[in-house]
Copies of this chain bind each other. A is one copy, B any other.
Amino acid sequence: MYRLGVLISGRGSNFHSILENIKKGFVQNARIVVVLSNKEDAGGLKIAKDNDIDAFFIDPKGLKRDEYDKLLIDKLKEYEVDFVILAGFMRILSTGFIETFKNRILNIHPALLPSFKGLHAQRQALEAGVKFAGASVHFVTDELDSGPIIVQSVVPVLSDDTEDSLSERILKTEHKIYPLAVKLLTEDKIKIKNNRIVIKADEIDDNFYIINPVCDKKE
């Protein structure tokens, strides 16, 4: 049983989705042992408490990045965390943090990486006029939004989309692929090879094609 630490800054909807998928048995080999937030009013803190998961607001006020990240590391180590799950955590992590949990930090980004790294990915997609957007779960490395990609989802971009409508469509798929990535990871189905992710093909066949709203739309 792997121990997950989740970092949030807001409502924590991806955290919630992973939690629900653990509860219902889709993710069987992991449990969330601690939730940390850099925002005191993050909605995800309440979700954690409602589910008897230890949750802490770690105040960044007046701290340098390394000092703050040291607090995070200490807390995650205290809880003997195997994997760190970034779920809307709106801070750049220090190299020290990333090295401490090398190849054990996951993030989700609302774009078909390597397109549209950084902030406001959905807006970037709309401005680029792409016809498909999506989300990517990836390992975190020192380079922003550039680590090995584990799972991706695809959604259509419609001609009348706003940043909100596109974000919502993408978010629905985030709630499916992030638990899927955690499941694959904690069932030891993922290998990193030449900086790429290798997943057993049967896993992909079983899971990949159910998470594409382009298909759902068709039905």
Contacts and interface: CB of A to CB of B under 8 A. Distances in A.
A177 to B, nearest CB: 9
Interface residues of A, number: 38
Nearest to A177: B131
Interface stretch (A4-12, A41-49, A52-60, A149-157): A149-157
A208 B131 contact: yes
A71 interface: no
Query: Number of copies of this chain in the oligomer?
Result: 2
Nearest to A152: B131
A88 interface: no
A159 B112 contact: no
Contact of A215 (B129, B134, B136, B215): B215
B113 A198 contact: no
Contacts of A198: 159
Given A209-B218, A214-B215, A130 B154 contact: no
A114 interface: yes
Among the interface residues A131, A204, A218, which one has the most CB atoms of the partner chain B within 10 A? A131
A51 interface: no
A205 to B, nearest CB: 9
Interface of A: 112-116, 127-132, 134, 136, 148-149, 151-152, 154, 156, 158-160, 195-201, 204, 208-210, 212, 214-215, 217-218
30 contacts: A112-B115, A114-B116, A114-B130, A127-B196, A128-B196, A129-B195, A129-B196, A129-B197, A130-B149, A130-B152, A131-B136, A131-B149, A131-B151, A132-B132, A132-B154, A154-B214, A156-B204, A158-B201, A158-B204, A159-B199, A208-B214, A209-B215, A209-B217, A209-B218, A210-B218, A212-B214, A212-B215, A214-B214, A215-B215, A215-B218
